[in-house]
């Protein structure tokens, strides 16, 4: 396993790759297991919830998500070491959203491709997603809400070249949680060069 470099939204060369539409994966593919292991190692090192293949420079329809474990709390409301529910990993190959709730809720959202920056993004309260497993069999997660539903919408956006910063309806909500005085990152799309005559 290896940790991969995560591409950044605020880097022009990286953003060009992040904005590309990803191609479907032909399954089964035995090489995917090693790639998925690398992606989980990268996700854990970055302390994230989800990671899409284009974020490590691969324009393929693959995303992983890991919902963190749920810990018991003590009488003071502090987390203990006792796990109520273990971490839940998901591997989604060629995923597509088949249905979204009609209700949308704004929530502060971040991305490993723009560390520490969070902005208010409206997302559907639940999503039904169809995808393939490593054997190529079709699977479906129905009406996923909360963090899983939110993460699936975010990660599938990556596969379609859509960045979470494009979903922020009010850029005034975009904040660096580590440095409240940080300058806004360069989020402007690449402008086409003037044609030379």
pLDDT-derived band at 63 (thresholds 50, 70, 90) equals very high
The residue annotated as part of the active site, out of 103, 155, 166, 194, is: 155
Q: Which phi and psi angles does 67 have, rounded to 5°? A: -75, 125
155 noted as active-site residue: yes
How many H helices and E strands in the chain?
4, 10
Correct CATH for 12-72+79-176 of 1.20.210.10, 3.30.390.30, 3.40.440.10, 3.90.45.10? 3.90.45.10
Quick: pLDDT tens for 107-155. Answer: 999 999 999 999 999 999 999 999 999 999 999 999 999 999 999 999 9
Average pLDDT over residues 17-25: 97
pLDDT at 41: 98
| Residue % of the chain over a pLDDT of 70 | 95
Average pLDDT, the chain: 93
pLDDT at 193: 43
Q: Which phi and psi angles does 165 have, rounded to 5°? A: -65, -25
């Amino acid at each position: 396993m290896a940790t991969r470099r995560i591409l950044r939204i605020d880097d022009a060369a990286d953003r060009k790759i992040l904005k590309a539409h990803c191609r479907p994966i032909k399954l089964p593919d035995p090489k995917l297991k090693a790639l998925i292991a690398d992606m989980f190692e990268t996700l854990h090192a970055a302390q994230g919830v989800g990671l899409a293949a284009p974020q490590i420079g691969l324009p393929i329809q693959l995303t992983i998500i890991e919902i963190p474990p749920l810990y018991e709390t003590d009488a003071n409301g502090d987390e203990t070491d006792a796990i109520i529910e273990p971490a839940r990993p998901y591997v989604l190959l060629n995923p597509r959203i088949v249905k979204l709730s009609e209700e949308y809720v704004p929530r502060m959202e971040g991305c490993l491709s723009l560390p520490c920056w969070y902005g208010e993004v409206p997302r559907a309260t639940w999503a039904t997603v169809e995808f393939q497993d490593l054997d190529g069999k079709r699977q479906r997660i129905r009406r996923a809400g909360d963090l899983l539903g939110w993460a699936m919408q975010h990660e599938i956006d990556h596969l379609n070249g859509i960045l979470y910063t494009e979903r922020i309806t009010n850029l005034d909500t975009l904040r660096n949680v580590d440095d409240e005085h940080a300058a806004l990152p360069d989020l402007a799309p690449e402008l086409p060069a003037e044609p030379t005559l």
